[in-house]
Amino acid sequence: MSEDDPDGEPKIIRLCVDLNVWVRYLLSVRRGTVWPSASATILDAVKTGRSHAGPVQLVISHAMLSRLEDVLVRLQFQPGDASAFCSLIRSFAQRGPRGAAPYVVLGGGTSPSAESRMPIYDPYDPSAVPPRSDDEDGRILDTAVAGRANILATYNFADFRTPNTDVLEPDQLQIYRAAHHSVMIAHARRVAEFLVTGQYPLPRPQPGRHRKK
């Protein structure tokens, strides 16, 4: 679930976080019910770059940040606050143990670019907000694969059902297999448990399911 460091340092967990995890965190802040929650645990891990499971490196793209900002504005967050939160998330990735700049989504794939920048505009003028990218969930998977994420945390598995996905536990764990890299897609609560306990998320026995003889 994490990568080997050639210098013998602790293995780094490369974590991609679906937009709904960030949104749930901010909605809980607005309600005043942040702790305890899976979203808050995940945010704390990517913010500090540390967890009981090992060092954590956030994997994210400009397309994801752009889409998140758009969603937050639609949810009645002030444009300036939405922009500031996305800038904060970007800084988590840049300050992580691998110091990864956000990725740039290019058509069907992604490429890392430290030189790339999001469009500059007045966040307090909604009419000036540039158009956002579509195909949100495919681009999240592209980002996870390009950034060699070990795990993708989400609350919505329906968005990631593809012919290349194997379901290990319905609505809890599944694996997306690309040509040269595989990503574990896990429910945010299972990811939070992993970060707190260090126990790798494994499929749990399903009640009522018996192996045929």
**Measured between alpha carbons, how far apart are the two ends of the chain, in Å?**
33
Q: Which residues of 168-199 are buried (b: 16+ CB within 10 A; e: fewer)?
A: bbeebbbebeeeeeebbbbbbbbbbbbbbeee
Say which residue the tokens 């040509």 belong to. 179
Beta strands in the chain (DSSP E): 13-17, 56-59, 103-106, 109-112, 151-154, 165-169, 173-177, 182-187
Of 95, 87, 51, 58, nearest to 199 by C-alpha is: 51
Query: Is residue 168 one of the residues assigned to a domain?
Result: yes
Report the predicted TM-score, pTM, of the whole model to 2 decimal places: 0.79
Q: What is the number of domains present in the chain?
A: 1
Query: Is residue 7 one of the residues assigned to a domain?
Result: no
Please name every residue paired with 154 in a beta bridge, in sequence order, or none if there are none. Answer: 187
Query: Is residue 103 one of the residues assigned to a domain?
Result: yes
Q: Which pLDDT tens digits describe the chain residue by residue (213 residues)?
A: 554 444 455 689 999 999 999 999 999 999 888 678 999 999 999 999 999 999 999 999 988 999 999 999 999 999 999 999 999 999 999 888 877 777 665 544 444 444 334 444 444 444 544 444 334 555 788 899 989 999 999 999 988 888 899 999 999 999 999 888 999 999 999 999 999 999 988 888 766 654 444
Query: Is residue 205 one of the residues assigned to a domain?
Result: no
The Cα 144–Cα 167 span in angstroms is: 18
Q: What pLDDT is attached to residue 207?
A: 66
Query: Is residue 1 one of the residues assigned to a domain?
Result: no
Encoding tokens for residue 90? 């970007």
Q: What pLDDT is attached to residue 137?
A: 56
Residue-range definition of the domain harbouring residue 147: 13-197
Q: What pLDDT is attached to residue 89?
A: 94
Query: Is residue 3 one of the residues assigned to a domain?
Result: no
- Residue 203: how many other CB atoms lie within 10 Å: 12
The Cα 137–Cα 104 span in angstroms is: 15
Query: Is residue 2 one of the residues assigned to a domain?
Result: no
Per DSSP, the residues of 92-142 read: HHHTSTT-PPPEEEETTEEEE-TT--PPP--TT-GGGPPPPPS-HHHHHHH
Query: Is residue 115 one of the residues assigned to a domain?
Result: yes
Q: Give the strand pairing for 182-187 and 173-177.
A: antiparallel
Q: What pLDDT is attached to residue 102?
A: 76
Q: Are 39 and 21 in contact (CB under 8 A)?
A: yes
